[in-house]
Structure 1
Amino acid sequence: MRIAYLHACEIPSVFANGVHVMRMCDAFADAGHHVTLFAATGTIPADDVHAYYGTRNRFPVHTFGTPRIPVLGRWLRAWRVRRAVHRSGAVDLLYGRDLYALLASTGLAPLVYETHLLRPGRDQRIVERLLLRQRGLRRVVTVTEALAEDYRRTVPRLRRPRGPELVTASDCADLPPAAGPTATLPGRPHTLKVGYVGHLYPGRGIDVILALAASLPDADFHLVGGTDEDLAHWRSRPHPSNAHFHGHHPPSRLHPYYRAFDVVLAPYQRRVACAGGAGDISRWVSPMKLFEYMSYGKAIVASDLPVLREVLTDGANCVLCPPDDVAAWTAAVKRLADDPEARAALGREAERRLRRDYTWRARVDRVLPRPDSAPVRGGG
């Protein structure tokens, strides 16, 4: 199948949405599909976008700038994407998260719309409403069942038998390389290494991690990720000497850090900002870091939020703690520090669940329309 993936955000970038999109395109290619990515122009330098993200396949990536004209700029870019898709040849499926480009490209091929949140702005909600009415829309993909429930509640067409099919497909991870280097981390060589990979903006629990570091001086804490601005903010604040900020690294260079950690943290709070530090996605969040932790068989301590319980089971593949209860987090990490066998058991079960349910390749089969629901043109 020839798939055009339409993405509204920058490639490459420091944000997780870029990782998600590149991993999905890579998995489409792994499954034998011919995929082309149409995205916004990247905001960070990268001579080779595939090397930056560490993809296995070198699928075409076309990027388009957005004119700095309120509202109209998005539509101008969307029509440029439509023309590029049309000129690329016959397309069997339009897939993506770009509301404007998907709507502008209606009629070129059947559509699958993936969404990770209820759209916050009035203009975006209007465009989404129009997209959801398109006869060519075959599926709407959400990343959590909580988000699917909210779409069923707010979009009557998704409750109708003849409407587009609503499918839930969590974020995922690739299985890591069987061997490779382990990061040499600052701090004490033989102490417990507690890791966090992700952004540093509001709702990610950075305050919790720093409080943990202060209460557990015999462990070293390593935070990997963050924009330059957020990194400068946290480094300028007083923090324990056993807390180390490593800054942003390309996704392709994170493997050595994951290998180095003994325990990993996902301290999401009851309000979680999305890319850029705005909004609140705590009800629907599907953190890729959780699945990456699972793929490495790491012992996970995570926030006990209803949406995370769609994937995590306390005492089986993780330890869950109240999001802002530092005493509970301290007790959980200390218990795992003292019990290597418990760490190993949690990690084994997390990896087993990842292999069974949450690989990007398995996600491809879940999100693509069934042949009987989405007839396509041409071959693949």
Structure 2
Amino acid sequence: MRIAYLHGGSIPSFFANGVHVMRMCDAFTDAGHDVTLYSLPGTYTDQDPYTYYGVRHRFPIRLVPAPDYTQDGYRRRGQDIRDLLTGDAVPDLLYSRDPHTLAVTADLAPFVYEVHQLRRDLPAGFERALLSHPRLARIVVVTRALAHDLQAAYPELGTLPIHVAPDCADPPAAATATAPLPGRPDAPTIGYVGHLYDGRGIDLIIDLAGRLPAFDFHLVGGTTEDQARWQESCPHPNLYFHGHQPPSELHRYFPLFDVVLAPHQPKVYTWGRIDEIGRWTSPMKLFEYMAHGRAIVASDLPVLREVLQDRVNCLLRPSDAPQAWADALTELIADPLLRASLGEEARRQFLQHYTWRRRADLVLADLAPRGTGGLGTPATRKAPTPAEGLHTADTAAVND
């Protein structure tokens, strides 16, 4: 199937949405689809994007700038992408996280609209028009909470064709060269990988470093500005900031950590505090922790419990109880069998439910072209019954 992936962000970038989009395009290509990615040009690095993200396939990437970052600028960029799509062979499917471009191109082919938060930045009626469009084939969301809230936001549209598909990771290579870590060679190593935005629990990690001076804490990720801000408030010599690393290099860090942390708070902010996404977040790094079989301590939040279960694939602790986190870390370091069992179960569940390739297959299930007629229209889809409320792409993928 020929798929045009429409991305409203830049490639390459240090934002998580770039990782998600590149991994999905890689997985679609691995599944045998002909994928072209339409993206904003990168501004963070001039490194080759395939190398920077560590993807396996060199699917075409067409960089389409926006004249400015206004609603009109996005619309004009969408028209430029439409011209590219119609100048080539029109794809069988549009797959998009970019509502602006989708609004201009939706009539060209059936489309899948992927949503990671309720959009508050769109003009009134903008998203409703997409969700009621006759060529909408599927809506993909990353958590059950978001599926519920999206459906509740548009009750007049009836039961929406929503599939729940959490974020994922790729299985690590069999042999991984590790990165050198500073610190004491005999100290337990506690790791965090991800951005340092407000709501990610960085203040909790700093607190833990003070409570557990015999442990070394390592934070991998974050912008230069965020790193400097947190370092100013960190007096502990056992906490190390490693800064942003290319996504292709992160696999070198995970094997070095005895325990990894997912200390998300109820309110999680994106870059610049532009949006608050705590109720709907599906952290990619959580699945990378699972892929590497690490013992996880995570915040006991409803959205994380869609994937995590205490003392089965992690330890869950209240997000506002630092001593409970310190006790959990102490317990895990003192009990290597518990660390191993939690990590092994997390990896087993990851391999069964949370690989990018599995996600690619699930979000495209039953959307293959039929003859020369293209994809089925919404009227021909198997829709959820009113009693079901939501159609979940893979029930097992979002269970305990």
Does the residue aligned with 1:353 lie in a helix, a strand or coil?
Answer: helix
Aligned twin of 1:292: 288
Query: Structure 1 regions of 5+ residues with no counterpart?
Result: none
Residue 249 (structure 2) aligns with: 253
Residue in structure 2 matched with residue 352 of structure 1 by the alignment: 348
Q: Which amino acid aligns with 1:221?
A: F
Shift of 1:366: 1.2
CA distance in 2, matches of 1:70, 1:32: 36
Aligned pairs (5 A) from 1:338-377:
338-371=334-367, 375=370, 377=372
**Whole-angstrom CA distance in 1 between matches of 2:352 and 2:326:** 31
Q: What is the identity, as a one-letter code, of the residue corresponding to 1:170?
A: P
**How far 1:210 sits from its partner (Å)?**
0.5
CA contact (8 A) 2:293 2:344 kept: yes
What secondary structure is seen at the aligned counterpart in 1 of 2:273? coil
The alpha carbon displacement at 1:376 in A equals 7.2
1:137 to 2:136 alignment: yes
Q: CA deviation at 1:266?
A: 0.4
Deviates more, 1:274-283 or 1:342-351: 274-283
Does the C-alpha gap of structure 1 residues 376 and 114 become closer, same or farther in structure 2, counting only changes over 3 Å?
Answer: farther
Query: Cα RMSD between the aligned structures?
Result: 1.7
Contact 2:132 2:157 in 1 (8 A): no
**In structure 1, what is the equivalent of residue 74 of structure 2?**
74
**Comparing 63-72 and 208-217, the one that deviates more:** 63-72
1:190 positional shift: 1.8
| Structure 2: gaps spanning 5 or more residues | 376-400
Q: In the alignment, is the contact (CA less than 8 A) between 2:206 and 2:234 conserved in 1?
A: no
Structure 2 SS opposite 1:280: coil
Matches within 5 A, 1:172-321: 172-321=168-317
Q: Tell whether the 8 Å contact from 2:117 to 2:146 is kept in structure 1 after alignment.
A: yes
TM-score with structure 1 setting the length: 0.95
Q: What SS class does the counterpart of residue 3 from structure 1 fall into?
A: strand
> What's 1:54 paired with?
54
Partner of 1:30: 30
Tell me how far apart the structure 1 counterparts of residues 372 and 51 of structure 2 sit (CA, whole Å).
32
- One-letter amino acid of the structure 2 residue matched with residue 177 of structure 1: A
| Residue identity matched to 2:141 | T
TM-score by length of 2: 0.90
CA distance in 1, matches of 2:157, 2:143: 16
Query: SS at 1:17's partner residue?
Result: helix
> What is the deviation of 1:121?
2.0
Corresponding residue of 1:16: 16
Q: 1:231 and 1:66, CA in 2 relative to 1: closer, same or farther beyond 3 A? A: same
Deviation of 1:171 after TM superposition, in Å, equals 0.3
Q: Distance in 2 between matches of 1:318 and 1:376?
A: 47
CA contact (8 A) 1:205 1:269 kept: yes
SS of 1:39's equivalent in the other structure is strand
Which secondary structure state, in structure 2, belongs to the residue aligned with residue 283 of structure 1?
coil
The one-letter amino acid of 1:154's match is: A
Cα pair 2:191 2:259 within 8 Å, conserved: yes
**In 2, Cα distance between the equivalents of 1:49 and 1:353?**
30
How much has 1:279 moved relative to structure 2? 2.0
Between Structure 1 and Structure 2, how many residues are aligned? 375
Structure 2 Cα separation of the partners of residues 371 and 201 of structure 1: 37
Change (3 A) 1:122 1:93: closer
Inter-partner Cα distance in structure 2 for 1:268 and 1:202: 9
| 2:118 is the counterpart of 1:118 | yes
Q: Which is worse superposed, 67-76 or 208-217?
A: 67-76
Distance 2:352 2:210 in 1: 37
* Other structure's SS at 1:254 match: helix
* Residue identity opposite 1:327 in structure 2: Q
Give the conservation status (yes or no) of the 8 Å contact 1:158–1:165.
Answer: no
SS of match in other structure, 2:6: strand
